[in-house]
Amino acid sequence: MNAARLPSVAPEVTATLVEGLSPRLRKRLDAAVTKLAARPTHRDGDTTTIDVDDETELRLHAPGGVVARVEDITCRCLLAPACVHRAAAACAAPAADLAPEPAEQATPEAPGPASATPPAAMLGPDAARSLGLDVAPASGPGTAPAPTTDTAANAALGLAPQATPNPAPDLASSPETASPDQRAAADVLWAAGAAVLEAGVDGAGAVTQSALLRAAHTARLRHLPRAAGAALSVVTLLRAARAGDPSYRTADLVTALAELLGTAHRVGTASGAEMAAVRGRVRRPYSPDGSLRLYGLFTEPVVTDSGHGGVRTWVAGADGRLFTVGDVAPGGAGRALGVADRAVRLGDSALTHRELGRAGLAVSGATVSPDGRLGAGKAVKAVTARGVAWTEPPLAALWETPPAEQAACALWSTSRYADRDGTGSDLLFLHVELLGAVREPGGTCLLALCEGGVRVRLTVSDDDPALAHRDNLALLAAAPGARLRIIGRLIPATHPRLTLLACTHPTGEGTVDLGLDRLRRADLPDPSASAHFAPPQTAGPGGSSPLYLLERRVEQTVAAGRAALGLLGDVTAETRRIRRGGLPTAAALLTALSASAAQRERDLFGRLLPADTDGFAAYWLAAARYTAAVSESLCAAAWNPMDEDPAAVPPVPVHGAAG
């Protein structure tokens, strides 16, 4: 049984069914989920039936595609409704997206006198002493640590102390803060996330996942959709990991778990605009944007790991803002190629997506989501208009911003833990000279030289042979010296790296959508040329960074749990290497993380006491956030012009507190 064939189940339904099981049945739940996944299913309208055995049927009633009530899952076995089958079916099915928030808003609590909480207090006395910090009284459970008293390091982690200047703030003028109910919901989220770190992927079965789902449901009711969404992401990734999904990546689960823990921590300290960002929003609303004059840039195919396919067409406004028009639905690369020649669903325009990428639109009554997607409501009117070349205004202005500044903005828009406001994109617009192919462990990429002498590696965005990316990149490798305008998507790395999406035609006539249009050898300046390989390249500013030693421990914790990390032995050699690489904070974090993982206190009778899961989670969160911040800084530094002082580089914005 494929989980994708089951209807989505509301998080509170799954949590309620699991919580209703007896302790004996909870122990059998994971085995029941695995057994149920092998049974045949069939759908009839809104009802999906699973054949538990030859005589027993399990039914999921999902009006609208979502099982919204406990009563909508029924079983005909003798133990029903207290059987394990209902809970197993809910755990095997995908978790439904969050419903809209309740209309009532939580009443902000009047903040009382507050003072800055020193980093040592966040860690707790024992943890603070282990890092050589001054010890101060701790405040509140589930807080995240600052690994060092160094101001710059704390800023990189987003753990700067929060101080309230007025001892008795007036309620009418006070910024928004979390209510007691929101803080309680955040504590539950923290505890559920810490339990995942304690157990690791193998131990985070259906019971642990149900605790996350219950916490997500409670957070939604308390108007904390960002944290609730992070909890659902953790559940989805845990299920993918345990099912052996080939698209699963441990780094994705690290990001989701750090987002969950960090956001839960920030609920208790944020206020004003930061609190609004910490709360987040359930859905991305479309807001009116009046009349727009749009100019086509390019069209890219979209093929997802979940089996969806389609296209996304990028257009720019007269002021340089970027917008997208998409058509993505279940289907693979074949659907993406077919949809490219279908009419755009926007107003009365008869343009196909391919045509829109080179033409223009005049839109009235436009609606736009925060991330730039154009709405296609009934009130939207759109007619075909003249497009412009990339070398003409207003599109030409996109290529005038220095690459380092573009990379800094793209990093902000793709940052793993940023408080995104929907502005910006991860696209870069560059003038390049092709240098040839470069062999890498994972394959071959195209090397190009852009402004300031920066060498950038260009790779394919999708290696599916049905798409044109791979063949086009191979042909461009046979045209060293060609000068092109390109559009690419930033890949965060310790060296400049992009996925190549579109470029000007090598002959100088028109543009090429590299995932859809196929270049021919006759299009090259020298049709007889073969692929040219550039000489080996030196590593970028972070090419030899030992940061991966800490990143590896962070990922190992997620995969195997706290206890397994504590058994990995002495890390003195690793910390010595990290310090030699100029990362003393990373070395201190690795030491503290490993010590916390191995630490187990005993009572007066020699019995092991429960592990300090909160303290370990705090260390892990600091390590995860630190590695992300340093990686982004190394990526930004790699885009500096070769003759530029690194101190003059536009900084990457430091985002948020410990979330």
Is residue 608 a contact partner of residue 638, using CB atoms and an 8 Å limit?
no
CA dist 53 → 3, 36, 50, 101, 242 (Å): 18, 10, 9, 40, 24
Is residue 445 a contact partner of residue 458, using CB atoms and an 8 Å limit?
yes
CA dist 281 → 178, 225, 232, 278, 430 (Å): 15, 6, 14, 9, 34
> Is the pLDDT at 117 greater than 60, yes or no?
no
Q: Would you state the pLDDT for residue 420?
A: 62
**CA–CA dist 370, 285 (Å, integer):** 7
DSSP-based three-state secondary structure for 605: coil
**CA–CA dist 527, 537 (Å, integer):** 27
Of residues 258 and 168, more confidently modeled: 258
pLDDT band at 543 (very low <50, low <70, confident <90, very high): low
Pairing of β 41-44 and β 73-75: unpaired
Average pLDDT over residues 355-359: 95
DSSP-based three-state secondary structure for 70: helix
Average pLDDT over residues 334-338: 92
> Is the pLDDT at 538 greater than 80, yes or no?
no
Q: Would you state the pLDDT for residue 252?
A: 93
Average pLDDT over residues 469-498: 93
> Is the pLDDT at 169 greater than 70, yes or no?
no
pLDDT band at 37 (very low <50, low <70, confident <90, very high): confident
Stretch among 171-180, 307-316, 544-553, 635-644 having the lowest mean pLDDT: 171-180
Q: Would you state the pLDDT for residue 116?
A: 29
> Is the pLDDT at 499 greater than 90, yes or no?
yes
Tokens of residue 296, six digits: 């086509």
Stretch among 22-36, 204-218, 233-247, 274-288 having the lowest mean pLDDT: 274-288
pLDDT band at 199 (very low <50, low <70, confident <90, very high): very high
Stretch among 1-5, 271-275, 593-597 having the lowest mean pLDDT: 1-5
Q: Given 3-state DSSP classes, what are the helix, strand and coil percentages for the chain, each rounded to the nearest 5?
A: 40, 20, 40
Is residue 429 a contact partner of residue 314, using CB atoms and an 8 Å limit?
no
Please provide residue 347's backbone torsions phi and psi, each rounded to the nearest 5 degrees: 60, -145
Q: Is 449 exposed, middle or buried (0-12, 13-18, 19+ CB in 10 A)?
A: middle
**CA–CA dist 189, 215 (Å, integer):** 5
Q: Would you state the pLDDT for residue 97?
A: 81
> Is the pLDDT at 262 greater than 90, yes or no?
yes
As a whole number, the mean pLDDT across the chain is 83
Closest CA to 312 of 286, 344, 290, 283: 344
**Cβ atoms within 10 Å, residue 341:** 12
| Sign of the CA dihedral running 622, 628, 630, 633 | negative
Q: Would you state the pLDDT for residue 357?
A: 95
What b/e readout covers 478-509, taking b as 16+ CB neighbours within 10 angstroms? bbbebebbbbbbbbbbbbbbbbbbbbbebeee
Average pLDDT over residues 392-408: 95
Q: Identify any residues that bridge with 329 across adjacent strands, giving them in sequence order.
A: 309
Contacts of 598 (CB under 8 A, 6+ apart): 565, 566, 567
Q: At what angle do helices 11-19 and 206-221 cross, to 10 degrees?
A: 130
| Residue ranges with strand state E in 231-286 | none
pLDDT band at 421 (very low <50, low <70, confident <90, very high): low
User: What letter would DSSP give residue 533?
Assistant: B
Q: Would you state the pLDDT for residue 443?
A: 82
Of residues 165 and 20, more confidently modeled: 20
Place of tokens 């539950």: 188
User: For the chain, how many helices (H) and strands (E)?
Assistant: 20, 19
Summarised one tens digit per residue, pLDDT across range 572-582 is: 999 999 999 99
89 sits in the region (left: phi over 0; alpha: psi -120 to 50; else beta) called: alpha
Summarised one tens digit per residue, pLDDT across range 55-88 is: 889 999 999 889 999 999 999 998 899 899 999 9
pLDDT band at 610 (very low <50, low <70, confident <90, very high): confident
> Is the pLDDT at 508 greater than 50, yes or no?
yes
Long-range contact pairs involving 534-539 (C-beta distance under 8 Å, separation at least 24): 534/435, 534/436, 534/437, 534/438, 534/447, 534/480, 536/438, 537/438, 537/447, 537/455, 537/495, 539/494, 539/495
Q: Would you state the pLDDT for residue 377?
A: 83
**CA–CA dist 533, 477 (Å, integer):** 8
Of residues 351 and 4, more confidently modeled: 351
Q: Would you state the pLDDT for residue 171?
A: 32
